[in-house]
Chain A
Amino acid sequence: MAPATVLVVLAMYLPVIYTVYLSFTTYGGLGSPEPAGLSNYVEMFADTAFLTAIGNTLVWVLGSLLVPVGIGLLVAYLSFGLRFAGWLRVPFLVPYALSGVAVGVVFSFVLQNDGALSQALAYLHLPGSETRWLQEAPLNTIVMILAASWQGIGVNALLFTVGLQSIPKEPLEAARVDGASGWRLFRHMVWPLLRPSTTIVVGLSIVNSLKTFDIVQAMTQGGPNRVSETLGVTMYRDTFVNSEYGLGSAVAVFLTIITVAASMLYLRRQLSIGEPKGATP
């Protein structure tokens, strides 16, 4: 067997199989796992905090599509063709060099009660200085999405810029000659021609937001009282905080199924749009 195959089996397939196996057991990290049938899955769905985590994760998916992807596209499109566009995009790209945890730590100090944001609002006599940004749901999830967006806009803008650069000039010029401009030009010409980039950016955004963990763990630990928990945080909490490896694995399997299903549905749809009519699947 080729070394690469061995590596893939050891690093990718075995952990997956082991996790699926663990999800049907009771295991505290010591001794041997005990068979538990479907009890972990039953317990998982019976937990109201798990249902909250599903809801929050969906908010993360929607928020990540609206803000970092949307603004990323806006930044790329508005700066495209400008003389110093590269320099305009640099400030958006710099945060991408930080880790999610670092962003979380920084923003938790900014957004904590009486933190930098509250103090700034109070200084400027603006409303909101008493707002508990990280303690009220769904406000805490929304501000965490905005914090994550601060980091994610730049790379999305970069990917869209590459996409814009790869669009052939002729059809755009033809459209302009025909009188298309502004929103009409974007909606009917640029947007369809940008589809390969959009597919990548949106696909990555869906997957990344479904497994959101680091920034939430750093900013609220899913709290207070589990109101801002995402599925990634639930998985971590069950596995490593409570040492319920079976339950944590069940959450991991569920999260994986959701991620796979969402990715497949999205990619299949996008790829089928690109295929000529009449092609067989």
Chain B
Amino acid sequence: MKFRRALVATALLAAASLTATACSSGSSPSSAGSPGSSSEKPTGTLNFVNDKSWDFKAFSTVSQADIGIGLNPTTYADQNAFVAFVKQSFRTNKAPGLFTWHTGGQLEELVKQNLVVETTPLWDEAIKQGEVAPSVRDLYTIDGKQYCTPISVDDWVMYYDKKMFAQYDIKPPTTWDEMMQAAATLRSHGIAPFWSSGGNPWAFVWFQILLAGTDLQLYKDLSTGKASYTDPRVVSVMNTWLDMEQKGYFSDPGSKTQPEEQMKSGKLAMIPFGTWYASTMETAGLKNGTDWGVFTIPAVNPAQGKTPVAIETAPACVAAKSEQKDLGLAYSAWWMTAQAQTAWSKQQGNLPFNPQAKASTETFQQVGQELADTNKYETYLRYYEATPTPILTTALDQFTGFMTNPGDPTKYLQGIQDEAQSYWAKN
């Protein structure tokens, strides 16, 4: 009797424990609006599932007025819950008409399973109209075909505190050495020169800046499994990082205080981020042009010729099984136009990828012009998208370990290489 009672009690506990794992989180988005007609110009309300904290409702009024399609956004604050929901939705008739995703391996994964609609005709037209650079198309190309379209394409720049720079008579640096001199000056005044953060997702930032800035080809070879993380050249880059750590050039990687708040309180001078970060700075009450400015991040090794600039792009994809495919594709095409990109830049304060669109701020108009010089700058895909997920997750852990306890980088690199070796053996 007592055995049976114990067995029943433990069986219930077991069921409860396993149920929590088997049921992934997430709820279906509300299905508002009609799918629109299959004629040339579909109109209606498009279900848009996303993982961005951007104001899509405000942007919906622009598209509604322009092409008669409004957005019904469902935003997931948690990235993992968002991914689980989207993956789950492909098995149902609730697959979204439009959803945000990531380029690189994550997009490839969806394409392999025929889960997203091909967008090659949209790209052909946009390139023909000069609305998007061919280099951006490469990020969306898998086996010669395009999938998804960009909401935005963001270059990584360095945001800096203008007042602080003026106070210590520092000019925006144009070389790595100048940037290190600026860091030394700021440090001597008790200010953390650069923002740095451990954990997922931002632990990769300084590895990316230092490695691509030193040897872009090595960076690309690492992300495709052609080079090893234990390569002496990678170790050397990590030692540069260690040297900066030991000089006290970084903010506390364990801090939970947002970088813009650290800058606002006068504790932090520079933040490396994509151009999307402008709206976050504004939300924190930091004004573009007076409180903060941006400069392009100089290459560590100027012998590379061109200065490498990390880019990231936020794709919007149309699910192949969605009942709103026509609406989704129409919206995707519109979002690349100069009109939509100008409105998007105005709302977000960022840099539009469409050369015919106008950046909303003078700061980004100048940055846009400068980065358009392909003789001076070479873009590369951000580490977060360029690196396969299992390697990325391990790398973020190891980089966090390295930042928390700065020292010999070998064991951290070996940890990433073990995962990379296992991944590339299977893929």
Contact = CB atoms under 8 A, between A and B. Distances in A.
B109 A12 contact: no
B109 A13 contact: no
Interface in A22-58: 22, 28-31
B110 A30 contact: yes
Contact of B256 (A12, A14, A108): A108
B215 interface: no
A264 interface: yes
A149 to B, nearest CB: 22
A67 interface: no
Contacts of B19: 11-12, 15-16
A16 B22 CA distance: 7
A207 B199 contact: no
B3 A241 contact: no
Interface stretch (B302-310, B370-378, B392-400): B392-400
B21 interface: yes
Interface in A94-114: 108-109, 112-114
Contacts of A135: 254, 404
Q: Place the interface of chain A in its size category.
A: 35 or more
A268 B7 CA distance: 9
B390 A242 contact: yes
B18 interface: yes
Contacts of A281: 1-3
Contacts of B245: none
B404 A28 contact: no
Given A224-B198, A242-B390, A275-B2, A259 B13 contact: yes
Nearest to A203: B9
Given A11-B19, A264-B10, A30 B113 contact: yes
Contacts of B17: 211, 252, 255-256, 259
Contacts of B16: 12
B13 A263 contact: yes
B37 interface: no
B109 A28 contact: yes
Interface string A212-225: 00000000010111
Given A15-B23, A225-B397, A242-B389, A253 B6 contact: no
B255 interface: yes
Interface stretch (A121-129, A158-166, A182-190, A232-240): A232-240
Question: Max chain A CB contacts within 10 Å: which of B13, B23, B257?
Answer: B13
Interface in B2-38: 2-3, 5-7, 9-11, 13-24
Contacts, number: 140
A19 interface: yes
B170 interface: no
Given A16-B15, A235-B21, A253-B18, A30 B90 contact: yes
A275 B1 CA distance: 10
Interface stretch (A81-89, A169-177, A243-251): A243-251
Contacts of B11: 260
Contact of B83 (A22, A240, A244, A271): A240
A112 B15 contact: no
A275 B389 CA distance: 54
A224 B254 contact: yes
Contacts of B23: 15
Smallest CB-CB A-B distances: 6 pairs: A225-B401, A15-B22, A252-B21, A271-B2, A29-B87, A240-B80
19 contacts: A15-B15, A15-B22, A19-B22, A28-B109, A29-B83, A29-B84, A30-B113, A112-B257, A114-B252, A211-B17, A224-B198, A224-B397, A244-B390, A259-B13, A259-B14, A263-B6, A264-B6, A271-B5, A281-B2
Interface of B: 1-3, 5-7, 9-11, 13-24, 80-81, 83-84, 87-88, 90, 109-110, 113, 115, 198-200, 252, 254-257, 389-390, 393, 397-398, 400-401, 403-404, 412
